[in-house]
């Protein structure tokens, strides 16, 4: 699918637009990203809040989803230099990592690589909404779990 906006540069965060949630990767150059996927190669994850995720390097052109560069946290934290981000990302490729929807998801993974701190606005927004609506967090988490957070690009 096409990129919405400027083409990604090494070290940029890439946001994939899914219907109910967004998936994240980090550009490592040459049209590739590093991101978390399901270790079993399935299109969705189990309903468990904790599991494992596989770190994979893939071509952006294989994505069935629209995507864009989204370095939105640059206002909140200073990014590392692109070379350091790319090297850190590539060192993770092939590893299994703990996956937790609320504390260690794909957005946490890429923001840790770019900033040295894990952020996830999707989780923060859900928690904020829950303070006003009580059941909003449960509903958001339920939707994310039911459709699966980790999706293979190909």
Catalytic residue (one of 23, 27, 108, 120): 23
User: Known catalytic residue: 106?
Assistant: yes
CA distance 34 to 57: 4
Catalytic residue (one of 27, 35, 108, 120): 35
The residues that bridge with 53 in the sheet, in sequence order, are 97
Task: Say if strands 50-59 and 32-37 run parallel, antiparallel, or are unpaired.
Answer: antiparallel
Q: Which residue has the tokens 């596989």?
A: 54
Catalytic residue (one of 27, 106, 108, 120): 106
CA distance 117 to 131: 24
User: Known catalytic residue: 27?
Assistant: no
Q: Which residue has the tokens 């995720």?
A: 53
CA distance 53 to 126: 22
**Angle CA(134)–CA(109)–CA(30) in degrees, nearest 5?**
135
Q: Which residue has the tokens 């090494």?
A: 10
User: Known catalytic residue: 120?
Assistant: no
Give me the active site residues, please: 23, 35, 106
């Amino acid at each position: 699918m096409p990129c919405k906006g400027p083409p990604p540069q090494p070290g940029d965060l890439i946001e994939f637009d899914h219907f109910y949630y967004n998936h994240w990767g980090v550009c490592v150059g040459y049209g590739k990203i590093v991101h978390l996927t399901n270790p079993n190669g399935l299109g969705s994850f189990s309903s468990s809040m904790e599991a494992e995720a596989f770190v994979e390097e893939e071509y952006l052109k294989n994505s069935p989803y629209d995507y864009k560069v989204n370095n939105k946290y640059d206002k909140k934290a200073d990014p590392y230099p692109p070379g350091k981000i790319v090297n850190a990302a590539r060192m993770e490729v092939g590893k299994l990592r703990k996956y937790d929807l609320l504390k260690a998801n794909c957005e946490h993974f890429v923001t840790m690589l770019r900033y040295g701190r894990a952020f996830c606005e999707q989780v923060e927004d859900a928690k904020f909404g829950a303070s006003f609506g009580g059941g909003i967090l449960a509903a958001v988490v339920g939707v994310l779990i039911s459709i699966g957070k980790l999706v293979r690009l190909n």
